[in-house]
């Protein structure tokens, strides 16, 4: 089913998508999307939504199930508090992606802005995966409590940093993989850099083969550069603060 | 380091009365009492929770303030000196529980309500109907009606409303900070009373799903337990920005309290710290707040009012105006007496403003801007009795939230040790042995009794004022007078001094 979103207010558009899903549609194509917010938020079923254009903020906020593919750039707060499902963005995306994300996958082909992956967490079988093809801004993975964050730095220039300052500040769970080196001064004091081992490599291959297949990239090329991983140095970064 | 701190209390056991049944020893959860040929007390551990004294069948136990005299000093009080000793020994921030206990001026205690005499008759609520029912939610600017064969019909589509049988809700207290039995008691009482309980930031345990029509689900910065199922398992969604006891700072549930059930409800692994960042990192502006408000409305099909809870701070009126314009249906104002399971003492005691001033300032501002109808106001932070409720409503609140009072009704003795997880009354603990002490049905009955009593008192107050609905008192500041309040504060409160 194709919906032309041109000039349609977000509330109406989301209502139209919801009605289509309730009528049994499983594949919905949205044309001419231009800033409409909250697409996918009110859907609780594993449907496929293809977006042509630029969806607005909070794409897939609280999302539970759908798969969204964006042929274009994304804006801010994609996958906010997402529970399950998948979002693939073929272009760049903005700030605060995957905030409090508990499950599902968020694949960005290009660069992302500030505050990405803050307070991602995991629970039982729900382990969120956020992959950035380009580079990320400051505060990547702040307060991270679980899940897997991967930054590839594809098409970066020699010496160009993969992420901004305060990387992993307050991190107390989960793992961040970087395809390349990271300057010590960019790190939050709650994380440290480790070499990747065989298990990491398997995990990376698993996630990245899906990423590459979704975005038409070569896995071999992506895996051709060495990765490092960031882990929290303590699961209790804020212990010993108080007097009883 | 050996502590030089003297005990705060002394446990005195009357040797003649004591029958050595050891019930006190079994009841003490703070490790104060032990049995060695008689009950022996390590006074330093006593927090005056009164559990032992309450359960002593012989009334043999009294708790005394340690009379150890400190050289008198108006500036360097005993408390200041003890705190310095404590920090010098351990380093770190002083931690405490419950609300600000410092002797700030209480505006509630310096306001009185009007009553009818002679010319305007009072009403006897025992014989005449008296309306306490309150609807929380955004009200339209105007109502439109249309003629139908069956008479007039409301044409205006009403925004979602939540009905309260009495203008009181239970304040947000998370499962994690308090026990599941305490949560159950609040939910059961809310259902029985036709009011609401609030999950706080800890998710909603599955056993509480049957009470969904009486639950406010909270979304805070950690987003613990928040998914579509959770959002749709309440009648209202609340975004927590701030809390009166700790404005501007985050929360921190230590891993020790994250047992299997807390883990399932918060949706985090067992034993991990649950850190709630100070701000929501997706909200740095009113526009961002509007974005989250509408994300929640989208996620719940525009069927539930969205509330925004803030701590009452400087410029609260402008902040509230922004929240109303951002699309919130309800604003929850939490004054500086508001309680907490854990907060740095210095934050609790020195940040934020009194709720009385905040209610008046916010109500004024929203009226001036012509948007008061767009939001309902819940006021909280130190509401101790129905008189405080009547005054808060007369100042402009639609309803009040009570946390501390509800806990006291369930058995809390305000020992302020919630953060230790050792609560002897089974309230602020996850220790199964202690949680068992709180029977949810008994606790719910105590809550129902309290709210019933307060509601009866509210009706008496309304009757004395000569009005027959709480709606007639709402924002009716003419019915309030100040006693011993300075001119500036009277102006902010929008009330006259008594005698005028």
Which regions of B242-314 does DSSP assign to beta strands (E)?
Answer: 251-253, 274-276, 306-311
CB atoms within 10 A of CB B474: 18
Average pLDDT for residues A103-119, to the nearest whole number?
A: 97
Examine the pLDDT at A241 and tell me if it is beyond 90. no
| Residue A174 φ then ψ, to 5° | 80, -170
Query: Hey, is the C-beta of A9 within 8 angstroms of any chain B C-beta?
Result: no
Classify residue A39: in a domain, yes or no.
no
Parent domain of B353:
134-497
Given an 8 Å threshold on Cβ–Cβ distance, is B282 in contact with A80? yes
What's the longest Cα–Cα distance across chain B? 87
- Are β-strands A84-89 and A105-108 bridged in parallel, bridged antiparallel, or unpaired? parallel
Structural domain tally of chain B? 2
Measured between CA atoms, how close is B326 to chain A, in angstroms?
Answer: 15
pLDDT band at B125 (very low <50, low <70, confident <90, very high): very high
Cα distance between residue B224 and residue A158, in whole Å: 40
pLDDT band at B254 (very low <50, low <70, confident <90, very high): confident
Parent domain of A165:
92-232
CATH number at residue A153: 2.160.20.60
Given an 8 Å threshold on Cβ–Cβ distance, is A119 in contact with B298? no
Please state whether A102 falls in left (phi above 0), alpha (psi between -120 and 50) or beta: alpha
Average pLDDT for residues B294-316, to the nearest whole number?
A: 97
| Same domain as B170, residue B49 | no
Classify residue B436: in a domain, yes or no.
yes
| Same domain as B414, residue B294 | yes
Cα distance between residue B345 and residue B348, in whole Å: 5
Contacts of A143 in chain B (CB under 8 A): 275, 277, 281
pLDDT band at B38 (very low <50, low <70, confident <90, very high): very high
Q: Taking a C-beta distance cutoff of 8 angstroms, is the pair A13, A36 a contact?
A: yes
| Same domain as B144, residue B76 | no
Which neighbouring-strand residues pair with A243?
Answer: B94
Give the one of A62, A77, A244 whose C-beta lies nearest to B282's C-beta: A77
Give the one of A42, A143, A238 whose C-beta lies nearest to B301's C-beta: A42
Q: Which ipTM value was assigned to this complex?
A: 0.95
Measured between CA atoms, how close is B410 to chain A, in angstroms?
Answer: 25
Q: Is A37 exposed, middle or buried (0-12, 13-18, 19+ CB in 10 A)?
A: buried
Contacts of B295 in chain A (CB under 8 A): 37-38, 41, 58, 61-62, 80
Place of tokens 């480790």: A194
pLDDT band at B255 (very low <50, low <70, confident <90, very high): confident
Q: Which two tokens stand for residue B134?
A: 């309150």
Classify residue B400: in a domain, yes or no.
yes
Task: Give me the sign of the Cα torsion angle B177, B182, B185, B189.
Answer: negative
What Rg do the C-alpha atoms of chain A give, in angstroms? 18
Examine the pLDDT at B105 and tell me if it is beyond 80. yes
Query: Hey, is the C-beta of A138 within 8 angstroms of any chain B C-beta?
Result: no
Q: Per-residue pLDDT tens for A144-169?
A: 999 999 999 998 888 889 999 999 99
Measured between CA atoms, how close is A56 to chain B, in angstroms?
Answer: 11
- Are β-strands A64-71 and A84-89 bridged in parallel, bridged antiparallel, or unpaired? parallel
Query: Hey, is the C-beta of A126 within 8 angstroms of any chain B C-beta?
Result: yes
Contacts of A38 in chain B (CB under 8 A): 294-295, 298
Query: Hey, is the C-beta of A100 within 8 angstroms of any chain B C-beta?
Result: yes
Q: Which two tokens stand for residue B495?
A: 């009330």
Specify the pLDDT at position A121.
94
Task: Give me the sign of the Cα torsion angle B190, B191, B192, B196.
Answer: positive
* Closest alpha carbon within chain A to B228: A62
Structural domain tally of chain A? 1
* Closest alpha carbon within chain A to B226: A81
Examine the pLDDT at A69 and tell me if it is beyond 90. yes
Q: Per-residue pLDDT tens for B194-243?
A: 999 999 999 999 999 999 999 999 999 999 999 999 999 999 999 999 99
Cα distance between residue B299 and residue B233, in whole Å: 12
Interface size, chain A vs chain B, as Cβ–Cβ contacts under 8 Å: 124
Given an 8 Å threshold on Cβ–Cβ distance, is A96 in contact with B298? no
CATH number at residue B256: 3.20.20.70
> Using CA atoms in the order A217, A223, A226, A229, what is the torsion angle rounded to 10 degrees?
90
| Same domain as B213, residue B75 | no
For A61, half-sphere exposure in the C-beta direction (CA atoms, 13 angstrom radius) is: 25
| Same domain as B139, residue B211 | yes
> Which is more confident, B107 or B6?
B107
Contacts of B90 in chain A (CB under 8 A): 243-244
CB atoms within 10 A of CB A56: 20
Contacts of B283 in chain A (CB under 8 A): none
For an interface test with B, which of A14, A16, A61 has the most B Cβ atoms less than 10 Å from its Cβ?
A: A61
């Amino acid at each position: 089913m194709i919906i032309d979103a041109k000039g349609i207010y977000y509330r109406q558009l989301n209502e139209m998508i919801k009605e289509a899903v309730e009528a049994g549609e499983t594949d919905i194509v949205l044309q001419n999307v231009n800033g409409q917010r909250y697409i996918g938020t009110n859907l609780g079923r594993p449907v496929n939504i293809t977006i042509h254009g630029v969806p607005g903020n909070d794409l897939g906020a609280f999302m539970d199930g759908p798969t969204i593919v964006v042929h274009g750039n994304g804006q801010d707060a994609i996958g906010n508090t997402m529970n399950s499902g998948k979002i693939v963005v073929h272009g760049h995306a903005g700030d605060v992606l995957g905030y409090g994300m508990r499950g599902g996958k968020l694949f960005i082909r290009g660069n992302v802005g500030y505050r990405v992956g803050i307070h991602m967490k995991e629970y039982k079988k729900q382990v969120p995966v956020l992959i950035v093809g380009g580079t990320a801004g400051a505060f990547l993975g702040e307060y991270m409590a679980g899940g897997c964050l991967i930054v590839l730095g594809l098409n970066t220039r020699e010496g160009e940093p993969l992420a901004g300052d305060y990387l992993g500040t307050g991190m107390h769970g989960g793992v961040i993989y970087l395809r390349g080196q990271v300057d010590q001064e960019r790190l939050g004091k709650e994380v440290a850099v480790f070499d990747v081992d065989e298990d990491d490599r398997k995990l990376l291959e698993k996630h990245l083969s899906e990423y590459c297949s979704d975005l038409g990239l070569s896995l071999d090329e992506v895996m051709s550069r060495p990765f490092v991983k960031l882990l929290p140095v303590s699961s209790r970064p804020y212990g010993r603060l108080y007097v009883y | 380091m050996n502590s030089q701190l003297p005990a705060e209390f002394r446990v005195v056991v009357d040797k003649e009365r004591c029958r050595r049944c050891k019930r006190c020893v079994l009841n003490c959860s703070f490790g104060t009492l032990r049995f060695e040929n008689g009950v022996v007390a390590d006074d330093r551990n006593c927090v005056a929770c009164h559990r032992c004294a309450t359960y002593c069948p012989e009334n043999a136990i009294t708790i005394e303030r340690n009379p150890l005299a400190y050289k008198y000093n108006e500036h360097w009080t005993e408390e200041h000196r003890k705190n310095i000793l404590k920090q010098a020994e351990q380093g770190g921030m002083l931690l405490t529980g419950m609300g600000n206990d410092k002797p700030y001026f209480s505006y509630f205690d310096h306001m009185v309500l009007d009553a009818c005499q002679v010319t305007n008759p009072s009403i006897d609520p025992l014989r005449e109907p008296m309306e306490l029912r309150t609807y929380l939610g955004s009200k339209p600017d105007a109502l439109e009606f249309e003629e139908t064969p069956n008479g007039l019909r409301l044409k205006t589509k009403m925004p979602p409303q939540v009905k309260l049988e009495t203008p009181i809700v239970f304040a947000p207290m998370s499962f994690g900070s308090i026990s599941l039995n305490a949560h159950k008691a609040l939910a059961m009482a809310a259902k029985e009373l036709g009011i609401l309980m609030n999950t706080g930031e800890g998710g909603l345990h599955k056993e509480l799903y049957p009470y969904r029509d009486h639950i406010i689900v909270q979304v805070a910065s950690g987003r613990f337990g928040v998914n579509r199922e959770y959002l749709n398992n309440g009648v209202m969604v609340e975004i927590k920005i701030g809390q009166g006891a700790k404005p501007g700072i985050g929360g921190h549930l230590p891993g020790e309290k994250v047992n299997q059930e807390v883990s399932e409800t918060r949706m985090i692994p067992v034993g991990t710290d649950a850190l709630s960042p100070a701000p929501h990192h997706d909200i740095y502006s009113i526009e961002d707040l509007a974005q989250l408000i509408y994300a929640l409305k989208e996620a719940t099909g525009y069927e539930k009012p969205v509330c925004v809870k803030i701590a009452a701070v400087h410029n609260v009126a402008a902040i509230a105006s922004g929240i109303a314009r951002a699309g919130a249906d309800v604003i929850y104002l939490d004054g500086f007496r508001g309680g907490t399971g854990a907060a740095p003492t210095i934050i609790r005691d020195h940040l934020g403003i009194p709720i009385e001033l905040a209610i008046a300032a916010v109500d004024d501002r929203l009226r001036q801007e012509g948007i008061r109808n767009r939001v309902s106001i819940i006021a909280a932070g130190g509401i101790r009795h129905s008189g405080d409720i009547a005054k808060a409503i007369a100042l402009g609140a639609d309803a009040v939230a009570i946390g501390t009072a509800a806990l006291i009704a369930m058995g809390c003795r305000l020992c302020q040790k919630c953060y230790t997880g050792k609560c002897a009354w089974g309230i602020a603990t996850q220790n199964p042995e202690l949680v068992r002490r709180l029977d949810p049905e008994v606790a719910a009955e105590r809550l129902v009794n309290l709210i019933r009593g307060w509601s009866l008192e509210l009706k008496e107050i309304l009757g004395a004022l000569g009005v027959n609905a709480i709606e007639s008192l709402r924002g009716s500041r003419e019915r309030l007078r100040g006693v011993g309040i300075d001119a500036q504060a009277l102006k902010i409160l929008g009330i006259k001094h008594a005698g005028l």
